[in-house]
Amino acid sequence: MTTNLTTIHNERVPILPFDLAPVEDTKVNRSAIERRAATIPTRRTVKKEYQAAWLLQAVQNIDLTTLSGDDTPGTVRRLCAKARQPIRPGLLKDLGVEKPVTTGAVCVYHSMVETAVDALQGSGIPVAAVSTGFPAGLIPFNQKIAEIEASVKAGASEIDIVISRRHVLTQNWRVLYDEVKAFREACGDAHMKSILATGELGTLKNVMRASFVCMQAGADFIKTSTGKEPTNATLPVSLVMTRAIRTYYEATGYKVGFKPAGGIRTAKQSLDWLILMKEELGEEWMRPNLFRIGASALLNDIERQLEHFAYGRYASMQYQALG
């Protein structure tokens, strides 16, 4: 990679040649990262009508997700209906919101892609499919490629791939690059999010290095977690990844998106991550084309907080059920 930003690119993130230099030169000060991350939920606050506006923005950043063993076509259709209308119309009217509000995407397993695509037809909401042997990524390589291609054929316009963690843990960066590059090529026009499974990478330095490799290999987004690991999205890990994105942008001019996933369940947490994006990457990275939150229960709490702002009271959780 070059060291100075000479051109700002508005087109899609490309596959760049593998460059080991920024990977080897990576330095991460864990103590400084943890101190900085600790200030985000304590020193920054958003209040009153500004908080309501930020929460509505958070709704539009959500990849509304169902990745359960008991998923059925019925539950996926209900989730898609919620994605189309995540906040009830009466509440939006009382908040003074006139334009439609939808979630950023719906995220499902491959077997539910066609159901989701059908349920979202005409809405403009993309369907994201988890792929490549999600969540462990331990199926044979040719099956990973076939799964990506099948999801794209079924109508998925976003593919969330999982990297092979062993390549990071053994520092086999070229093999990791080749793997992610092959996934990106299999995605075709579908945008690719690379899931690092940061809770299984051992160190923050490994997280930073894996981020660089995935971006070089053409990842449109880098994503923290599958949501299935014991440790998922955290602010320190997210800070490392957003700084990798900023460094990559400064070096190449290409804007890579970021998606924290797993464990983000409250409206307050969604504000923490929006603050992180604004302070580390700028307002452009607060929009759905560059920032998503992988979540299922988060939407319930955001709607409750909006009701409190509008009416001065909290509604029971049963009135914000996802279906």
Neighbours of 68 (CB within 10 A): 10
Task: Tell me which of 82, 181, 193, 223 is the catalytic residue.
Answer: 223
- Nearest Cα to 148, choosing from 159, 136, 134, 164? 159
**Rounded (10°) CA dihedral 180, 182, 186, 191:** 30
| Domains of the chain: residue spans and CATH | 21-320 (3.20.20.70)
- Nearest Cα to 258, choosing from 224, 299, 295, 298? 224
Global pTM value: 0.94
Stretches where the chain sits below pLDDT 70 are: 1-10, 317-323
Q: Which residues, in sequence order, are bridge partners of residue 160?
A: 130, 193
Burial of 194 (0-12, 13-18, 19+ CB in 10 A): buried
pLDDT at 6: 45
Task: Tell me which of 63, 160, 220, 272 is the catalytic residue.
Answer: 160
135 preceded by a cis bond (ω within 30 of 0): yes
First to last CA, the chain: 47
Place of tokens 């042997």: 133
Cα–Cα distance measured from residue 101 to residue 86, given in angstroms and rounded to the nearest whole number: 7
- Distances in Å between the Cα of 47 and the Cα atoms of 33, 44, 187, 222, 312 are 26, 10, 41, 30, 14
Q: Which two tokens stand for residue 198?
A: 């940061």
Task: Tell me which of 82, 144, 193, 259 is the catalytic residue.
Answer: 259
Any catalytic annotation for residue 259? yes
pLDDT at 11: 79
Any catalytic annotation for residue 223? yes
Q: What is the pLDDT of residues 49-69, one digit of tens each?
A: 999 999 999 999 999 999 999
Give all strands (DSSP E) within the chain, no chain letters.
Answer: 62-65, 105-108, 127-130, 158-162, 191-195, 221-223, 257-259, 293-295
pLDDT at 319: 65
